[in-house]
Structure 1
Amino acid sequence: MIIRFGYAATALNLYEASPAKTMTFARWSRLGNDERKAKLHALTKENLERTTRILHYNIAHQINLYRFSSSLAPLATHEEAGWDYISPFTDLYGEIGRLVRDHGIRVSFHPNQFTLFTSDKPHITVNAIKDMQYHYNMLTAMGLEEEAYINIHIGGAYGNKELALERFQVNIKQLPEPIKAQMTLENDDKTYTAAETLEVCERHRIPMMFDFYHYMANHTEREPLEEILPRFMATWQNRKHVPKIHVSSPKSENAYRSHADYVDAEFLMPLIKHLKDIGQSLDFMIEAKQKDKAALRLAEDISRIRGVKRIGEAAVEL
């Protein structure tokens, strides 16, 4: 089995490469119409150009797993500031898509925690749909709308998890089917456990994004890893990509829910042991503060384990 390693948004080994340059609505409000347009265009162009630069870096370092920044187009979904963030940049979106396809890079988006479908407030659902549409529109501009996924969490429990899940079943029907087809759901560290997330994924035929770190922080005795993993992997059957796992490790025992700079390979050993028994190739998205540096270091650290062979800068074979 093969494990590939990737990271999110910014390549820290590059100088000034953040693809998430933005502006606040307050700042936007103080500008004239022409200045607003010019500033939004300049920021978006810079973010897309930096994304292209990061993809070239990934290609050079054999990193075939990457999560786009959700902040590529500032204020794109804001009620008052919403603007055309696609048409002026078709060449840049097209170049990003070409690089991804030509080099077999697996890409995704991960909207923020406010993109959820469990709220009893209609405007929250409307905003969630708008945000999902925003991400899908960019994938479409890149020509990646049938292969890249948009990952979210189920959402809040609002004091009654059963009712919140019922609302999810209703609210998710408002999401256009093409977008829902590219959606994944991730277990979280406080509210919805892996088993609870799996039940929703299985019911709606949505692939699950299993987060091992969140599982360690939030699971019950009735959710043994050896039972969760095969079910999680089954949600990816008949999909273009292999299953994908988010991995990170706690900063400390006292700050367990804070991500460390790097990922402790020892922390992952229970997971790796079970994966080795299953024998299914998959991808690891690194969610550590040192991003690409953490992904490359983890590949090196895991390659030192007996029975593991490094087959690239960001891939190992068990």
Structure 2
Amino acid sequence: MKIIVPMAGIGSRLRPHTLTIPKPLTVIAGKPIVQRLVEDISSVVDQKIEEIAFIIGPAAKGFPSDTSDKLIKIAEKLGAKGSVYVQEEALGTAHAIFCAKESLSGPCVVAFADTLFKADFKLDANADGAIWVKQVDDPSAFGVVKLKDGYITDFVEKPKDFVSDLAIIGIYYFKDGEKVREEIQHLIDNDLRENGEYQLTNVLESLKQQGAKFIPGKVNAWMDCGKKDPTVDTNKQVLGFEAAVGNNLVASNVVLNNSEIIQPCFIGENVVFNDSKIGPYVSIGANSVVHNSTIKNSLIQTNVEISNATLDNAMIGNHAKYNAKYTSVSIGDYTELT
């Protein structure tokens, strides 16, 4: 089994936090978003992952030179080969996948790296394909699928009238990666675009018309990492999931000087708290120091200094310094607000 992860977008909605790192490498509860994504996929497919292929953007669009190394290490942690491809120009979802055509073979999962999920189903690898879906209250904002006898019959993009409440979350399984590659090649060779781009939905429709049967993979939770507030909320949900299975995410060498941690929290190595109350639902990265502060429901990265703060729904980048009265803040790496 292979996992293909298109992640070439610049993550503009999550700025300033994506000015120095790609959005999928933003750390949530101690792990990058993309690492949590491939780990969750691995548990659902219940098969050995042979290769994880990542499609990133060019350095000119803000992808640091060490991005490939970080992604390959994530693949290796799952015992898989890591491959990295570059999408030089944003030409649609199908085009992004095609950038990894050398890896697009055999059974594979395609997962767009701006979302996380939790599911208790196991993938039927004998199916022609599967599409991860989540029941939503307002399907008009999403692409949805229609079902009949357990199989997907239609893909409908942002329906104005109700046709289904099963939204596509951006994760797909294909039994035959070569066939997907051939279909995308057909789109490109014949310049078959929608709104100027080569779209995966056209590939899905073509495969369905040729007789492929797609099944839904229904997820219990679908977590967005697109903007600051949803990302902080995703951190909260992930901490809740970790606590529910008994995982303690507080490093053993955390220093508590007249301070309290209210679980669930992630606290990295060598963090020092002085006269502070932390939690619930707080992530703080390694080598950070917090003085005289109360922090809850916040996502804070590494090497941060926080003083005299009352934070709630805050997101603070790496190497930042914060000593101010604001509560719901969003400041990026190497920022000082004092």
* TM-score for both structures, normalised by structure 2: 0.26
Q: Which has the higher contact order (CA 8 A, sep 6+)?
A: 1
Which structure has greater helix proportion?
A: 1
* TM-score for both structures, normalised by structure 1: 0.27
